């Protein structure tokens, strides 16, 4: 040893210190000779190279710790490996040694050399590689703790091959992998294999995969994770470049379904994989939305159809799995039994209109709820007098037809409220079926409450200021909640009966619905008495009359209730009859305490009596019952709860509807003008009184009440809405190109399909066209154009005027007509004389076919129209300076101004001039015409600018708008053409023309496939033109793009088009072409 100490003294001081420190610890572990060997190794390491003393320090530092776990031979091996590394790079050795204590705890000694080898193989002699290798040693302790050594080796191999591409990436992956792999179970192997595959194809993705994997994999059922990863690997091998995206979306999709079903989905994926790997991703992506519409069992059918399609038409199949094709939509549609309101809204609306004869709209219940005017239940059907509100989706029955039947029943019931006058209740109108007692009661009540200060509101109403007849009526009854419940039951029962009488075809289904409503009613026995009796009334109204449990002491009362209800089963029964019936039923029910009754006090009864209701029987019953519950202490009773909803009947709020109706018409209920206008305070008072809001505590939420009142007034249009324009509509829908169908939520927006030529199918609701009116500019532009082109204008006008008499010319040699065509007649006579069969075409007639043309001009307002056209071209009219001196001066001035204003002309300027000229021509010939511009960015923002609407007449405003036509964004032609077509279709003209003026090929964000296939846009445009032609519209395309020939041929097919060689001729050529086209 002494010779060693000598050597040691030559070393740097920190090293010496470490040496001594380590020696102290090790002397307890190692034997003498082992100590010597250790010291020798340490010295050797430290002195290997100039900078290796750092490695030595590190070695000495940790050797004490390491020695605890290793036998001396393993220790030596560990040391040798470090020494070996140190020869290559001392810093590598530093990292190696530093990792030692962490490693030896978990790593089997025989693996140490291999482990060191892993790090060594990452080191390629460069600074970057040494950082990476060091990093590897750094994370190794945690790696070996969590992974099997085998996995560590694979991972290291992965990192090494990544490092061949990018050290930075490898470095990051190392850190990420350390965390991500730790959390994995058996799927780790599959994941590493996936990563390996990617190093060959898309190595950048590896990092992304590491990033997302720990978030996404746990969503999948553990046993399926490996399978899912193998699927991803397969896809990656097939060339998928977005494995990480697949991992995220795929696992999200799988995560949303039940663990048991995941295997099945993966089976489907495997099946699809062999046909079209691309479709797998699409399938998983749409899985969630598809499964929200159909069941897992139905998914197979939907999938099969797609799988078959994809074999024949890969593109179409892809679109199918993305649910971006009509075929796919249709398949889903037919499979799913649930019915969305949107799909049948039109039919239901017309149906409701037909039944009621009123302009009824059909919309979702939630819309009414959002208005905050008293309706709160989103799932219920209801009406507020002008609209029928229905739940957005029905999924009660296993088939679409049955679900539609439900919609039909529900809307028929709501319409019945309107058709059979639920809201037309008039307080003083006789009921016909009952002795009218409303007025008497009112008088009695008035006498009773006149002195009572608490009834002020009532008295104010009684002075002739009732807001509605309905509230006047309900004010008669002290328990308004009970009153409303009874009235609702009786009125709904009346309507059910009436509907079945008026619409015998509905009987069957109505019956079914009533039956199923009965099934879900609560047992009578379980209810407190008063509620049980109200429930009994519900049963009667649902036509259940047999085997009903009734408390023994109220059997008589029940019989009278049944008779009251029965009386409304009459086509002549009006809402007033329901009201009178309610008064009577209320008399009975309010006398029944809401207490529990022991079971033995109930008995089963049948109520299908033929006996008629009689007033005497009622008054006798009332007498017998005495004051009943009315006098008793409330404490013993349970709080009265309204009966459970009968869902097909929906919500019924007669008082609110009458209030709304009154506010809408702005009149008092009896139609007298001069009554006080409705104030917000009055409204609040009404709402507070009304039972329809379902407010539990009086005075609760004065704010809410005020808000209700405010909303009601807004709804009725009493106060101008204070909201900003556009509020109330959803935010601008921003969906990227991968998204699904769009929806037009704002006014003046329209949705159109788009043609995907490779899928040979439409993408449904793909584009939103937003119609805007061009803002008005200066009239000067129009005037200037007129002056600049004065000679041309005269010429054009003359040509068009000449065109008119042409249509009145004689048509000769006709089989019949106004007169003999003399020439033909003479010929015929000669023929006859000479024994030849004469022609019978010997008449002429005037062709008085009137000119009947409607035309829509569609201007390209894309950014490219801002291109300047080559300068130096003399302006039109340069040559013909006027002779007259005054005119000449003006001409000169106008020219100078023109020159000062702009030195060059843009394509759009010529388009504008052409339009201005056309206006003149069109006005002279009297055709119906519209001028529009289009541009936009993205499929959700196709802008459609109105310069002159078809219906509009030529005003100065139109002329001013021309000035403001300016280059904007991109060119998505298809939707613009479809929108223009829609405008033309509304015209009645015999000849309809769609004139498209463009400056280049259609293009827009996402208006091509993967941004490379321009054909997509061309094909969509072509399809839009074909659609127009199918609708009897003649399309014509004019382009100023000299290279237009190549794509115009594809775009227009056999339709007419012209490529304008000389842009400058556009203003002249436009009227000429139009003339040629229409005459």
CB 386 within 8 A of CB 358: yes
Please tell me the count of residues contacting other proteins according to CB under 8 A: 27
Q: Which is nearer to other proteins, 88 or 949 (CB)?
A: 949
Identify which range of 171-179, 347-355, 914-922, 1046-1054 contacts other proteins by CB under 8 A.
Answer: 347-355
313 — alpha (psi -120 to 50), left (phi > 0) or beta?
A: beta
**Alpha-carbon torsion angle 355, 357, 362, 365, nearest 10:** -80
Which of these segments, 283-291, 355-363, 453-461, 964-972, binds other proteins (CB under 8 A)?
Answer: 355-363
**Binder of other proteins out of 36, 164, 271, 347 (CB under 8 A):** 347
- Residue 914: name the closest of 742, 1016, 1039, 745 by CA: 1039
- Which of the residues 365 through 424 are near other proteins (CB under 8 A)? 408, 412
User: Which range touches other proteins (CB under 8 A), out of 364-372, 503-511, 562-570, 954-962?
Assistant: 503-511
| Contacting other proteins within 296-335 (CB under 8 A) | none
Binding of other proteins by 502 (CB under 8 A): yes
φ, ψ (nearest 5 deg) of residue 948: -140, 120
Q: Distance (Å, rounded) from C-alpha 444 to C-alpha 467?
A: 21
Tokens of residue 111, six digits = 């693996």
In 780-811, which positions are buried (b, 16+ CB within 10 angstroms) versus exposed (e)?
ebbebbbebbbebbeebbebbeebeeeeeeee
Nearer to other proteins, 457 or 509 (CB): 509
Per CB under 8 A, contacts with other proteins among 980-1039 are: 988
- Write the CB contacts of 369 (distance below 8 Å, at least 6 apart in sequence): 375, 376, 377, 378
Beta strands in 327-455 (DSSP E): 339-340, 361-364, 382-383, 387-390, 393-394
Regarding 659 and contact with other proteins (CB under 8 A), the answer is no
Question: Do residues 133 and 122 lie in contact, with contact meaning Cβ atoms separated by under 8 Å?
Answer: yes
Residues in Cβ contact with 627 at an 8 Å cutoff, skipping those fewer than 6 apart: 591
DSSP labels for 323-336? T-SHHHHHHHHHH-
Instruction: For residue 359, state whether it binds other proteins (rule: CB under 8 A).
Output: yes
815 or 885, CB closer to other proteins? 815
According to CB under 8 A, which one of 2, 125, 453, 504 is a site residue for other proteins? 504
Q: How far is the CB of 426 from other proteins (least distance, A)?
A: 24
The single residue among 185, 357, 432, 726 that binds other proteins, judged by CB under 8 A, is 357
Supply the minimum distance, in Å, between the C-beta of residue 477 and other proteins. Answer: 35
Least Cβ distance, residue 988 to other proteins (angstroms): 5
Separation between Cα atoms, residue 709 and residue 714, nearest integer Å: 9
User: What is the distance between the alpha carbons of residues 99 and 464, in angstroms, rounded to a whole number?
Assistant: 95
Q: How far is the CB of 504 from other proteins (least distance, A)?
A: 5
Our measurement of the distance from residue 539's CA atom to the centroid of its chain's CA atoms, rounded to an integer in Å, reads 41
Would you say 499 or 686 has its CB closer to other proteins? Answer: 499
Cβ distance to other proteins smaller for residue 757 or 845: 845
- Residues between 579 and 638 that touch other proteins (CB under 8 A): none
What is the spatial distance between Cα 963 and Cα 902, in angstroms, rounded to a whole number? 14
**Quick check: 342 binds other proteins (CB under 8 A)?**
no
458 closest CA partner among 441, 482, 436: 441
848 counts as binding other proteins under rule CB under 8 A: yes
Q: Which residue lies nearer to other proteins by CB, 506 or 958?
A: 506
Q: Closest CB to other proteins among 353 and 521?
A: 353
CB 351 to other proteins: min, Å: 5
Name the segment binding other proteins (CB under 8 A); options: 80-88, 352-360, 685-693, 1023-1031.
Answer: 352-360
Residue 275 Cα distances to 228, 287, 303, 324, 922, angstroms: 18, 18, 13, 19, 57
Stretch that binds other proteins, among 168-176, 607-615, 732-740, 843-851 (CB under 8 A): 843-851
Determine the interface stretch with other proteins among 389-397, 506-514, 614-622, 943-951 (rule: CB under 8 A). 506-514
Which of 22, 217, 266, 348 forms a contact with other proteins (CB under 8 A)? 348
Q: Choose one: 502-510, 779-787, 803-811, 977-985; the region binding other proteins (CB under 8 A).
A: 502-510
What does the alpha-carbon distance between residue 226 and residue 1009 come to, in Å, rounded to a whole number? 33
Indicate which single residue of 356, 365, 514, 941 sits in contact with other proteins (rule: CB under 8 A): 356
Report the residue number, 802 or 830, with the smaller CB distance to other proteins: 830
Least separation in angstroms between CB 660 and other proteins: 23
Spatial separation of the C-alpha atoms in residues 94 and 55, rounded to whole Å: 5
Residue 382: CB minimum distance to other proteins, A: 20
Rounded to the nearest whole angstrom, what is the least distance from the CB of residue 388 to other proteins in the complex? Answer: 13
- Stretch of residues binding other proteins (CB under 8 A), selected from 496-504, 547-555, 790-798, 971-979: 496-504
Residue 852 interacts with other proteins (CB under 8 A): yes or no: yes
Among the residue ranges 149-157, 350-358, 457-465, 694-702, the one whose residues contact other proteins (CB under 8 A): 350-358
Place of tokens 């000598």: 6
Alpha carbon dihedral 300, 303, 308, 309, in 10-degree steps, equals 150
Per-residue interface string for the shown chain with other proteins, residues 957-986, x marking contact by CB under 8 A: ------------------------------
3-state secondary structure of 849: coil
Told to check if 926 binds other proteins by CB under 8 A, we report no
Q: Binding to other proteins (CB under 8 A): which residues in 207-266?
A: none
Taking the least distance from each CB to other proteins, the nearer of 700 and 850 is 850
| Six-digit token string for 39 | 């010291």
**Shortest Cβ 354–other proteins spacing (Å):** 4
Per-position b or e across 742-777, b if 16+ CB within 10 A of its CB: beeeeeebbbbbbbbbbbebbbbbbbbbbbeebeeb
Q: Name the minimum Å distance from CB 756 to other proteins.
A: 24
- Which is closer to other proteins, CB of 343 or CB of 902? 343
Distance of closest approach, residue 350 Cβ to other proteins, in angstroms: 3
Among 183, 346, 694, 1011, binds other proteins (CB under 8 A): 346
Binder of other proteins out of 31, 308, 507, 1045 (CB under 8 A): 507
Residue 355 or residue 683: which is nearer to other proteins going by CB?
355
DSSP summary character for residue 971: B
Binding-site member from 10, 108, 256, 508 for other proteins (CB under 8 A): 508
Nearest to 856 by CA among 964, 932, 752: 932
Integer CA distances (angstroms), 1025 to 980, 1013, 1019, 1020, 1031, in order: 10, 20, 10, 9, 10
Measure the CA–CA gap between 193 and 233, rounded to whole angstroms.
8
**What tokens does 837 get?**
């069969």
Tokens read off for 58: 């590190």
Which CB sits closer to other proteins, 627 or 807?
807
Kindly tell me which residue out of 97, 136, 191, 351 binds other proteins, with binding defined by CB under 8 A.
Answer: 351
What span, in angstroms and rounded, lies between the C-alpha atoms of 744 and 945? 17
Of these, 354, 571, 836, 899, which contacts other proteins (CB under 8 A)?
Answer: 354
Rg from Cα positions in the chain: 44
Instruction: List interacting residues with other proteins (CB under 8 A).
Output: 346-351, 353-357, 359, 408, 412, 502-508, 818, 845, 848, 850, 852, 988
């Amino acid at each position: 040893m002494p010779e060693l100490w000598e050597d040691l003294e030559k070393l740097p001081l920190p090293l010496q210190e470490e040496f001594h420190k380590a020696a102290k610890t090790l002397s307890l572990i190692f034997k003498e000779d082992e100590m010597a060997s250790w010291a020798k190794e340490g010295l050797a390491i430290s002195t290997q190279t100039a900078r290796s003393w750092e490695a030595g320090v590190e070695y000495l530092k940790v050797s004490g710790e390491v020695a605890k776990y290793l036998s001396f031979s393993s220790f030596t091996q560990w040391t040798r490996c470090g020494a070996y590394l140190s020869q290559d790079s001392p810093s590598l050795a530093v990292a190696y040694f530093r990792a030692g204590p962490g490693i030896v705890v978990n790593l089997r000694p025989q693996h140490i050399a291999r482990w060191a080898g892993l790090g060594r193989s990452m080191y390629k002699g460069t600074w970057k590689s040494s950082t990476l290798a060091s990093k590897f040693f750094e994370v190794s302790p945690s790696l070996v703790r969590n992974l099997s050594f085998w996995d560590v080796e694979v991972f290291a191999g992965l990192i090494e091959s990544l490092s061949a591409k990018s050290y930075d990436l490898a470095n990051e992956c190392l850190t990420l992998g350390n965390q991500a792999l730790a959390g994995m179970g058996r799927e780790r192997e599959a994941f590493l294999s996936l990563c390996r595959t990617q190093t060959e194809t898309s190595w950048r993705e590896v990092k992304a995969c590491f990033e997302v994997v720990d978030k996404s994999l746990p969503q999948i059922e553990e046993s399926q994770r490996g399978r899912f990863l193998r699927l991803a690997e397969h896809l990656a091998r097939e060339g998928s470049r977005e494995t990480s995206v697949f991992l995220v979306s795929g696992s999200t999709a799988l995560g949303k379904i039940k663990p048991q079903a995941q295997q099945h989905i993966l089976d489907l994926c495997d099946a699809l994989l062999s046909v079209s790997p691309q479709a797998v991703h699409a399938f998983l992506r749409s899985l969630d939305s598809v499964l929200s519409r159909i069941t897992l069992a139905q998914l197979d059918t939907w999938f099969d159809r797609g799988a078959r399609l994809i074999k024949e038409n890969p593109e179409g199949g892809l679109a199918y799995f993305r649910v971006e094709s009509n075929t796919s939509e249709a398949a889903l549609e037919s499979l799913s039994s649930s019915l969305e309101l949107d799909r049948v809204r039109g039919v239901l609306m017309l149906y409701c209109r037909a039944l009621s004869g009123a302009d009824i709209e059909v919309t979702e219940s939630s819309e009414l709820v959002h208005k905050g005017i008293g309706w709160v239940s989103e799932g219920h059907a209801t009406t507020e007098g002008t609209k029928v509100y229905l739940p957005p989706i029905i999924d009660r029955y296993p088939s679409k037809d049955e679900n539609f039947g439900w919609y039909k029943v529900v809307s028929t019931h709501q319409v019945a409220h309107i058709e059979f006058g639920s809201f037309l209740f008039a307080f003083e109108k006789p009921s016909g079926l009952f002795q009218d007692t409303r007025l008497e009661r009112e008088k009695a009540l008035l006498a009773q409450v006149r002195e009572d200060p608490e009834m002020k509101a009532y008295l104010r109403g009684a002075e002739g200021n009732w807001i509605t007849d309905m509230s006047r009526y309900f004010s008669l009854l002290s328990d308004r909640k009970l009153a409303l419940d009874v009235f609702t039951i009786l009125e709904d029962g009346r309507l059910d009966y009436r509907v079945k009488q008026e619409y015998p075809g509905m009987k069957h289904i109505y019956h079914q619905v009533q039956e199923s409503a009965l099934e879900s009613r609560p047992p009578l026995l379980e209810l407190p008495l008063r509620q049980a009796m109200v429930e009994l009334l519900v049963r009667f109204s649902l036509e259940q009359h047999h085997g009903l449990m009734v408390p023994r002491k109220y059997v008589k009362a029940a019989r009278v209730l049944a008779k009251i209800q029965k009386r409304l089963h009459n086509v002549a029964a009006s809402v007033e009859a329901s009201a009178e019936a309610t008064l009577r039923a209320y008399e009975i029910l309010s006398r029944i305490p809401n207490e529990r009754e022991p079971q033995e006090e109930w008995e089963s009864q049948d109520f299908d009596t033929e006996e008629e209701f009689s007033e005497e029987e009622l008054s006798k019953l009332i007498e017998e019952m005495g004051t009943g519950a009315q006098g008793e202490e409330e404490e013993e009773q349970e709080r009265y709860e309204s009966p459970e909803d009968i869902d097909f009947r929906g919500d019924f709020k007669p008082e609110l509807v009458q209030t709304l109706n009154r506010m809408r018409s702005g009149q008092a209920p009896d139609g007298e003008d001069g009554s006080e206008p409705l104030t917000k305070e009055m409204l609040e008072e009404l709402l507070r009184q009304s039972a329809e809001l379902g407010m539990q505590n009086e005075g609760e939420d004065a704010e809410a009440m005020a808000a209700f009142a405010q909303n009601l007034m807004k709804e009725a249009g009493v106060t101008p809405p204070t909201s900003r324009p556009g509020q109330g509509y959803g935010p601008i829908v921003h969906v990227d190109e991968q998204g699904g169908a769009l929806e037009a939520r704002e006014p003046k927006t329209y949705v159109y399909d788009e043609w995907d030529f490779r899928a040979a199918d439409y993408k449904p609701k793909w584009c939103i066209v937003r119609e805007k009116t061009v803002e008005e500019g200066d009239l000067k532009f129009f005037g200037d154009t007129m002056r600049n082109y004065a000679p041309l204008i005269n010429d054009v006008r003359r040509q068009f005027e000449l065109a008119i008499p042409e249509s009145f010319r004689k048509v000769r040699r006709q089989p019949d007509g106004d007169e003999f065509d003399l020439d033909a007649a003479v010929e015929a006579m000669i023929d006859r004389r000479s024994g030849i069969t004469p022609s019978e075409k010997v008449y002429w007639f005037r062709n008085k076919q009137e000119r009947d043309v409607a035309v829509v001009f569609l201007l390209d307002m894309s950014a490219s129209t801002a291109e300047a056209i080559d300068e130096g071209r003399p302006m039109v009219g340069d040559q013909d300076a006027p002779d007259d001196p005054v005119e000449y001066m003006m001409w000169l001035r106008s020219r100078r101004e023109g020159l000062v204003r702009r030195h060059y002309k843009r394509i759009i300027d010529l388009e504008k001039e052409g339009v201005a000229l056309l206006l003149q021509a069109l006005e002279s010939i009297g055709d119906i015409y519209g001028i529009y511009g289009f541009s936009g960015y993205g499929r959700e923002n196709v802008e459609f600018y109105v310069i002159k609407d078809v219906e509009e007449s030529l005003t100065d405003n139109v002329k001013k708008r021309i000035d403001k036509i300016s280059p904007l964004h991109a060119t998505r032609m298809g939707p613009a053409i479809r929108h223009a077509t829609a405008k033309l279709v509304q015209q009645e003209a015999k000849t309809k023309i769609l004139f498209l003026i463009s400056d280049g090929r259609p293009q827009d964000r996402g208006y091509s496939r993967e941004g490379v296939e321009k054909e997509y846009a061309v094909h969509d445009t072509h399809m839009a033109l074909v659609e127009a032609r199918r609708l009897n519209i003649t399309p014509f395309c004019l382009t100023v793009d000299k290279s237009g020939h190549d794509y115009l041929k594809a775009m227009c097919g056999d339709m007419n088009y012209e490529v304008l060689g000389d842009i400058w001729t556009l203003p002249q050529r436009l009227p000429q072409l139009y003339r040629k086209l229409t005459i």
